[in-house]
Structure 1
């Protein structure tokens, strides 16, 4: 119940605009043709930014127990390219938003989400978004 309330507050206060930034990155990648392999990761992260409470990003290798394209050396190379062209500015966006929310005191849970997204923005390829219960953590 608390996750639902926090997600609703998140969408109203920030989630929509934050997700829009990720969706715009995804659209720009598709339009560029060269960025199509990264567009799916950006879109998935946009959905995560839209509704973050009660979910977490985990490495797919940890989740499935096997390596795939996103968790292989090609995935690492993809994350390097991602960082150079999109990751740093999305991370910067989330850091600034996190600092803003942290200063308000009441917005500290939202600031924590932003800092989590800032780290995730640096290297999203090879990640899966799963409910926290999947990883054996309680949902709050």
Structure 2
């Protein structure tokens, strides 16, 4: 990870990234308490990981039919609104030149929250 990525991740964390990551972490832990919520909890923990330090990390999409089915259910149950909020916030950040790197990370998170099953954060 380069110095610029470390700096951007630090700025990200200090300006609220930690709060969003904490929210996803709490959601993941609560989902793990129930047996049927474990798959959703895994996705929430994946999103917490990316939200905590998004710079210099990538999301690789894969999976097969089970992931597609799970993603469609996720989308219907509310994944779309989370992705929409990330998209809107990313668009607002991209209005300024300084905000473009942060907006691009928000777009990355929007895609992950829209289609999390079968995705891997590296």
- TM-score, normalized by the shorter chain, greater than 0.5: yes
**SS of corresponding position for 1:128:** strand
Please state if 1:54 is matched with 2:46.
Answer: no
8 A Cα contact 2:25 2:45, kept in partner? yes
Query: How does the TM-score come out when normalised to structure 2?
Result: 0.84
Cα 1:101–1:24, aligned 2, differ >3 Å: closer, same or farther?
Answer: farther
TM-score (norm 1): 0.74
> Offset of 1:58 from its aligned partner?
0.4
Q: Which of residues 99, 106, 111 is equivalent to 2:98?
A: 106
Match of 1:29 in 2: 31
CA distance, structure 1, for counterparts of residue 30 and residue 79 of structure 2 = 13
Cα distance in 1 for partners of 2:29, 2:76 equals: 17
1:16 Cα deviation (Å)?
1.7
Cα displacement string for residues 6-29 of structure 1 (whole angstroms, at most 9, x for unaligned residues)? 100111123123323433543453
- CA RMSD of superposed structures (Å): 1.9
Q: Encode CA deviations 1:90-119: one digit per residue, 9 max, x unaligned.
A: 102211221221224311110111111111
Residue 76 to residue 24, structure 1, CA distance change in 2 (3 Å): same
> Quick one: which of 43, 62, 74 aligns to 2:66?
74
